[in-house]
Chain A
């Protein structure tokens, strides 16, 4: 009896020791993960909070942290940043236009393919899929050439056109997937009541697709906000620039004030971070076919 009891005790003790070991291993692992995720972000803050631009001082802690560089950015107090707010507005403009046209073209196409079902609709689905799968950078160099042919060189609309091209395939997939959950009977009864396809699209299809529209809209906005290649390629004049192109200018000078650059970068990063966290769950539903294209 007593033997069984002690055996039970030592078992329980062994279990407890193992549990504690597992716990501390998990905590250690979490700590490593935390440092891994935050180190480059900490580096940004470290640089932005320094008053002097001699960033390479070897400090691992800001000696005298100050928000001075943020103040410079916000008041446009440096010659690389003299059009900062204009450029920020340009970025918002590109993002909003990309979102609008991606949603419009994507939903019209997926409505046709999924609801009107014309013959050869698979052709559209397949071309869209191919566009989605092929990396955008493969088309960057020809894009650079053809945009001036179209008269869209150094224009925000050229950039919007590029993002809409790469955003619509994803939109079509998600809308088609989501559209399957909307019963066809709704369309059919509306037809019998005499509604035209346009009325069905506006009054039935779009309202019921609202969650998918939010997910794809977030995707399109962040696609435009987080890419920089097409903005580099297509925008050159200072007033027509977006923030990423302005940021890249810092690399052109020999003695760049890295603290201003990092402060600008942080100000530019706030909207996407907010969006990700606000719409994380909405985006997760649309994640099945890939979220953000690199």
Chain B
């Protein structure tokens, strides 16, 4: 009896005031503060303080002068742009197309998907080390395969700068392609079947279905994924650090590895952080665009 009364009361209360507007009384706001304190403490101690510390040590004009005078640094910037520009776009296009392939209801395609996801599941340290050992010297697996097939010696991947940079991009795509394919696959599955049926009734061909149904509906996911992937790729250190470790010499380094090496191996942390900060002009616009996009869609990818 009292239960039903309570239920009615809440229903009335619910009808009278919108649920996002009820005021917190004293003890509730104490609870709210107590519940938020752990997150706020973590945020201040491990985000605000390190950022402030980094800005304080890294934002000096003389450091940037040193950076821009370093030909290695300029080369690193070019590598980063290649790594992000080519890596992200090629990966997104491939992931988009492959997600279409994996929509197939064939049982063997489903089995293939399970194997295809393996790179994503494995720790980066493990697979990138394997890539490194596959590429280094003329006796790695790739060169051995090349020799077995053609009878000739294969290329020295980590001696030529162009091949080393290409290898890191390929390794990066190898590791993260399954993840983005899965994102697009989830987005494709969320498209209501009725839309396709309506298109079929109107006599749409499969090309038209792809062009006028799938692509417009996935454009937002595609844009958000590309932006997010670009931001993460700018900060990616694992691939280059392990696959080529900057070889030849330091000519395949990207900004992330350049700054770590400056900070840790060469004992110059200020310069390292300054190098990382020099990615901000690229990073900030991407982040702003991303935040706005995500807000528009209410956090739904």
Contacts and interface: CB of A to CB of B under 8 A. Distances in A.
Interface of A: 29-30, 33-34, 36-44, 46-47, 55-60, 104-106, 108-109, 111-112, 116-118, 124, 126-131, 133-146, 150, 161-162, 164-165, 168, 172-173, 176-177, 184-185, 188-189, 192-193, 196-198, 201, 225-229, 233, 244, 247-248, 258, 261-262, 265-266, 268-269, 272-273, 275-277, 280, 284, 287-294
**Which interface residue of A140, A173, A176 has the most chain B CB atoms within 10 A?**
A140
9 contacts: A109-B39, A116-B31, A142-B50, A142-B57, A144-B269, A197-B35, A201-B35, A247-B126, A288-B301
Contacts of A272: 121-123
Contacts of B112: 30, 33-34
Q: Which 6 residue pairs of A and B lie closest in terms of their CB atoms, listed nearest first?
A: A135-B235, A56-B139, A142-B50, A276-B121, A197-B31, A142-B54
Nearest to A54: B139
Query: Does more than half of chain A's interface fall in helix, strand or loop, or is it mixed?
Result: helix
Contact of A261 (B38, B129, B283, B290): B129
Nearest to B128: A40
A105 B38 contact: yes
A101 B46 CA distance: 14
Contacts of B68: none
Given A58-B139, A137-B235, A188-B13, A197 B28 contact: yes
A60 B141 contact: yes
B182 A284 contact: yes
Query: Does more than half of chain B's interface fall in helix, strand or loop, or is it mixed?
Result: helix
Given A57-B139, A139-B54, A292 B179 contact: yes
B121 A277 contact: yes
B130 A44 contact: yes
B248 interface: no
B234 interface: yes
Interface in B106-149: 108-109, 112, 114-127, 129-131, 133-134, 137, 139-141, 143-145, 147-148
Given A39-B141, A116-B32, 18 more contacts: A40-B119, A40-B134, A43-B134, A58-B147, A108-B36, A131-B43, A133-B290, A134-B235, A150-B45, A173-B299, A192-B6, A193-B6, A196-B27, A197-B31, A197-B35, A265-B129, A275-B121, A294-B232
B300 interface: yes
Contacts of B72: none
A273 B256 contact: no
Contact of A133 (B98, B259, B291): B291
Contacts of B120: 276, 292
B32 A112 contact: yes
